[in-house]
Amino acid sequence: MINWFSAAKLGHHFIAEKLQAGDTAVDGTMGNGHDTLILAQLVGPTGKVWAFDIQAQALANTRERLATAGVLDERIELIQDGHEYIKKYVSHPIQAAIYNLGYLPGGDHAIITLTETTLTAIRDTLDLLAAGGRMVVVVYPGHPGGDREKEAVEAYLARLDAREYKVLKCNFLNRPATAPGVILIEKGGGRN
């Protein structure tokens, strides 16, 4: 059953509907590896997932999660670098990407994604997205800096050409404005 009311899980369902075995995907913010694991399971052993994080702790946590699930193999590239450098590592068209912004849960809350580098990464990831590909951005306006980042990301995505991208913003109406939100993006064309 689809969990419509978790921003992160809603994003997973949106990606899962399209991502197939053998596909390629990017996790722009590896964190504790929940999103990397979902992508790895969807693309299967013949696919590829590039996952980014600037913190060694995130790579360690993700590596452990993937190993426990039995998917830590050639399909996975765990990269300790900023997602703003995605084009240094990824040149193929990708079918899906997840950006789950903010800080590492259970880690240092002062290390957060930053508006300028997030915008660079989102722009370059959209560029790499194949026709028909899907991208999810989970925003957290509840921590210092998160509100500005959310506004900037939404303003950027709102300017995308509607003939090329569908962009849907999901927010809770009956929770504080600081609650997480999710933005679902699909690039035009490609397979159904």
Query: Can you give the binding site for ligand SAM, defined by CB under 6 A?
Result: 29-35, 52-55, 58, 82-84, 100, 102-104, 111, 113, 117
Q: Name the burial class of residue 117, with classes exposed (0-12), middle (13-18) and buried (19+) by CB atoms within 10 angstroms of its CB.
A: middle
CB of 83 to ligand SAM, least distance (A): 4
Q: Which is nearer to ligand SAM, 119 or 160 (CB)?
A: 119
Q: Which is nearer to ligand SAM, 33 or 133 (CB)?
A: 33
3-class DSSP state of 190: coil
Place of tokens 């998917």: 71
CB of 73 to ligand SAM, least distance (A): 19
Q: Name the burial class of residue 67, with classes exposed (0-12), middle (13-18) and buried (19+) by CB atoms within 10 angstroms of its CB.
A: exposed
Q: Which is nearer to ligand SAM, 32 or 125 (CB)?
A: 32
- Residue in 22, 53, 55, 23 with CA at minimum distance from that of residue 35: 53
Going by the DSSP 8-state scheme, the letter that residue 84 receives in this structure is: G
Measured CA to CA, the distance from residue 23 to residue 171 in angstroms comes to 29
CB-closest chain residue to ligand SAM? 31
Q: Which is nearer to ligand SAM, 3 or 131 (CB)?
A: 3
CB of 88 to ligand SAM, least distance (A): 12
CB of 22 to ligand SAM, least distance (A): 23
CB of 148 to ligand SAM, least distance (A): 15
Q: Which is nearer to ligand SAM, 50 or 103 (CB)?
A: 103
Beta-carbon neighbour count of residue 147 at 10 Å? 15
